[in-house]
Amino acid sequence: MSVDEIQDIEVLRTLVKMQQQESARLKLQLAEALSKLHDKSGADAEQLMLKLDKIEKQHAAALKQLFGSKSERGPLARAGKNAPSVKTGHGPKEQQKLPIEEEVHELDPEDAFCELCNARLGEWVGQFEEAVEVDFVAPQVIFKKHLRKKYRCTCGGCVKTAPGPKKLFAKARYSIDFAINVALQKYCYHMPLERQTRELNRLGLDVTSATLWDYLSALYGLLAPADARLAQHVLAQPVLGVDETHWKLLKSDQKGKSKTWWVWARRGDNAVHYSLDPSRSADTAKALLGSYSGTIICDGYKAYESLARANPNLKLANCWSHARRELLPFEADPRAGRAVRVIQRLYQLEKKVRGQPPEHILRLRQRKTRPLLEALFRWIDSLAIPATSEMRNAFRYIQLRKQPLMRFLDDPALAPDNNATERVVRGVVVGRKNHYGSRSERGTQVAALLYGLLDSAELAGVNPHEYLRQAVHAALDGVEIPLPHELA
């Protein structure tokens, strides 16, 4: 008999005993109610009948729990133990991705005595009380010594040495995994190099931020060929989300001030490409998107509108989140408040079709969302708001962009907003806040490439650490560097 079977028998005995006690208690109440019923009449008898009916139902439920099919839901359901179980409530999550390490706990020799006869306890082989916990193993930096064996021929004419590990560059003292960890800490978890050096010092490694930067620069030198392929893959997507945010180049200008650069993001379904440029001008937008054929989801920045006028193959789909933000400062006004509520209704409808087939999305948008928005635009057109009112500009923002704001209605591949792109760019914004920007133009190039590759790995559902390992080893082997979505 197995350990599980022994444990289940004990559970069964306990359950049966408890249900028998409950059944006996209810039987006693039933008998007392029946005896009282014979001595009562009128309203009292009616109340007792109700009580009797309640007790009978409780008794039947107790018997069913004891002998009915629901008892198979317990730990004794050996016949159906392989059937998938349905969890309810908010119990602990199964951590199937974590490695398992077993630790055996023993009694202290002073406690290994019987409390009745004082005899020494013997080990019950194979029997354990099992409990689990999630533990954290502190990171460790080690000094790894590679011993490369030498081989020689008896003729004395040949000596060979086993090859050592691959290195980022000749005579590199730090491993590839060390450099990858530095990149992940900075561009995934937004930890500045100075903060990393303090953490490494606590772990026993004496290293400077300049050394860490050298290894980030070496990573960039290896992975730079992937940048053009990543941009080409993103521009091949039929729908792009685009956004831009500022970035500091800490190298001072002639007046001793930091320069403001711009991060331009182009996001597809499974990849994102970043470009850092000193300008936010229409010329930069044209260089990045001028030849693009498809639909871009964006805010009302005029550089994108000029692109759409110059390129007939490029269509604009404006963002309803930005339209809502224009109205929020005036929400106390009943007119702005009404428009905000309509936009909220738009998002309630979109929530209903999230994850549905394209034809289902298109059907709901045409039947419900389109009439809602057309009524909104007719109402906005009828408003008489003074030209001097700031709220008028918020409504004009929506009026002037009616066609791009309505474009998502006819294409189920389009979202009504650009929030997905803004969520991706949020990592860049947090990094900018933590390490303030880049110290040099080379730093902007490194940041753009590594942010792009790591964020693309997240979008493609690939482990960023594993992706960087494969990409670096491919570069060192002289083969084409894979893009994250190619490993998904």
DSSP string for residues in 54-108: HHHHHHHHHHHHHHSGGGGGSTT--TTTTSPPPP-SS-PPP-TTS----------
d(CA 456, CA 488): 11
d(CA 208, CA 197): 6
Handedness of CA 83, 88, 90, 91 (dihedral sign): negative
When pLDDT is cut at 50, 70 and 90, the band that residue 32 belongs to is confident
- Is-contact 266 240, C-beta < 8 A? yes
Q: Give me the DSSP letters along 99-140.
A: ----------GGG-B-TTT-PBPPP-TT----------PPP-
Q: Which amino acid is at 401?
A: R
- For the chain, what is the total number of helices (H) and then of strands (E)? 17, 7
Q: What is the pLDDT of residue 63?
A: 60
Q: Percentage of residues in the chain with pLDDT exceeding 70? A: 84
pLDDT tens column, 386-418 = 888 899 999 999 999 999 999 999 999 999 999
Secondary structure of residue 296 in the 3-state scheme: strand
Mean per-residue pLDDT, 49-69:
63
Q: What is the pLDDT of residue 156?
A: 86
d(CA 449, CA 481): 13
Mean per-residue pLDDT, 250-277:
88
- Is-contact 415 355, C-beta < 8 A? no
User: Which tokens is 376 given?
Assistant: 């909104």
Q: What is the pLDDT of residue 132?
A: 87
Whether the per-residue pLDDT at 49 is higher than 70: the answer is: no
Whether the per-residue pLDDT at 320 is higher than 90: the answer is: yes
pLDDT tens column, 102-130 = 999 999 998 898 888 989 999 999 898 98
Nearest residue to 440 via CA among 220, 271, 231, 223: 220
Alpha carbon distances (Å) from 454 to 74, 451, 459: 46, 5, 9
Q: Which amino acid is at 242?
A: V
Query: What integer best gives the mean pLDDT of the chain?
Result: 87
Q: Is 410 left (phi over 0), alpha (psi -120 to 50) or beta?
A: alpha
pLDDT tens column, 433-472 = 998 889 999 999 999 999 999 999 999 999 999 999 999 9
CB atoms within 10 A of CB 49: 13
What H or E segment, with its residue span, contains residue 314? strand 314-318
Mean per-residue pLDDT, 250-274:
87
| Spacing of C-alpha 136 from chain mean position | 21
Mean per-residue pLDDT, 128-150:
89
Q: What is the pLDDT of residue 22?
A: 73
Residue found by looking up tokens 């309803």 in the block = 320
Whether the per-residue pLDDT at 76 is higher than 60: the answer is: no
Mean per-residue pLDDT, 243-252:
88
Burial of 133 (0-12, 13-18, 19+ CB in 10 A): exposed
d(CA 350, CA 408): 11
When pLDDT is cut at 50, 70 and 90, the band that residue 36 belongs to is low
d(CA 157, CA 151): 11
Any idea where the domains of the chain sit in the sequence? 176-226+423-487, 320-417
Alpha carbon distances (Å) from 342 to 319, 322, 377, 463, 466: 15, 14, 11, 40, 45
d(CA 451, CA 425): 9
User: Which tokens is 271 given?
Assistant: 């990849």
H helices of 328-436, in order, are 334-352, 358-364, 370-382, 390-399, 402-406, 419-435
Q: What is the pLDDT of residue 1?
A: 46
Cα(first)–Cα(last) distance of the chain, in Å? 46
User: Which tokens is 127 given?
Assistant: 């029997």
